[in-house]
Homo-oligomer: A and B are copies of this chain.
């Protein structure tokens, strides 16, 4: 058995493992992107921008203080794609590990492959599971690369250019990184609905979360004729429902908030695709088919709200996560209704999960607000622009109203921290500071307090 191989890793706590991975990956990425052959001739990039690009790529955010297409060589572009891939898979894998090690198995326990052999260590089961996921990811990426690359032949003079765009675009979309090598995101394809459809599909696959992939795969391979007996977990139902509701409500909201502004004179299909694509991309994709600064200020606020929520847990995205948002809402609604037990899809929700969701939301508010406050001290930009940049970093989305390149080093550091926190998730981030629970020696009398 390969037991010895994992001995050192086993000594680390999953959270330490994640930190170590992040640290090494960013270091490696910064170093590689500093090598001259990854640059175009004569291009020099400041250290803080190399670091920013690396953090942005590892946390698959896609915010960039430099223009990728003007700075990186073809080799640099391929390296950047690898870094995005590493970031997406690495953090998702270790994130899934943390989730399993901490015993939050979400009903997968009985069904997932990890547990089919009761004798294997959960760590080895994890490794097998992650290998499977990576295998599926690579297959999807290869299909995406073939479709997009071939289709792009009509856009580019040479096949190598077309397939480079197909390769980079596929990885950027499914890893939800959102970097582009067109120099203007997907604006060149703003009337090519086929390209947009493929991109949306890839972004959704990357943002919907590994656990959903696993369950859908299990459903597909479930014995035919007995599929009625297959039950999707509460988690999968809740996260998927919230995910697609957010996309629908998001698209409608984006359209309505600019109905007298950006969407004036657009045909129904133009409006549909502009609104839909921009809604999908706030789940954490970050690619866009338009200059979002053309939207109205109220839409910037709305997009900030959508980016703050971000993607589903154990996905390639960031933010507070779809489930957190849903549970926080359910918590409030139940409270208003005067009910005690919180239930949805005919299941009761654990109070501990509710508390967690609410904690995550409040802590995220604190981080986002503090970041905006700090940045507003040093930046000349409007609150609108800063709010957008901050929620984009926290949701690891990567949309921007165009100020990223002009920010001070101080603000760049804040955004790097937000991308890190948004990507690993508030819960994992807080675990870094959580002490093990000690048994309380004393018990104090309880006393009530007016809330207001």
- Complex CA–CA separation, A447 to B351 (angstroms): 10
A434 CB–B CB distance under 8 Å: yes
A373 at the interface (CB under 8 A from B): yes
Cα separation A438 to B347 with both chains bound (whole Å): 18
Which of under 10, 10 to 19, 20 to 34, or 35 or more describes the interface residues of A? 35 or more
State whether the Cβ of A353 lies closer than 8 Å to any Cβ in chain B: yes
Whether B433 and A336, one on each chain, are in contact in the complex, defined by CB atoms closer than 8 angstroms, is yes
User: Distance (Å) between the CB of A253 and the closest chain B CB?
Assistant: 9
A229 within 8 A of B: no
- Within 8 Å CB of A331, what residues of B? 355, 358-359, 362
Q: Is B348 within 8 A of A446, CB to CB?
A: yes
* Cα–Cα, bound, A26→B324 (Å): 40
Decide: A387 and B383 in contact? CB cutoff 8 A.
Answer: yes
In the complex, what residues of B have CB within 8 A of residue A335's CB?
355-356, 359, 430
- Is the Cβ of A360 less than 8 Å from the Cβ of B324? no
**Chain A residues within 8 Å of B, Cβ to Cβ:** 99, 104-107, 211, 233-235, 238-239, 257, 296-298, 301-302, 305, 312-314, 319-324, 327-328, 331-332, 335-341, 343, 346-350, 353, 355-363, 365-366, 369, 372-373, 376-377, 382-384, 387, 425-427, 430, 433-437, 440, 443-452
Q: What are 21 A-B pairs with beta-carbon distances under 8 A?
A: A105-B448, A106-B447, A106-B448, A234-B448, A257-B377, A298-B376, A301-B372, A302-B373, A312-B452, A314-B450, A335-B359, A336-B433, A337-B435, A347-B444, A348-B443, A348-B445, A348-B446, A349-B446, A358-B362, A365-B365, A382-B382
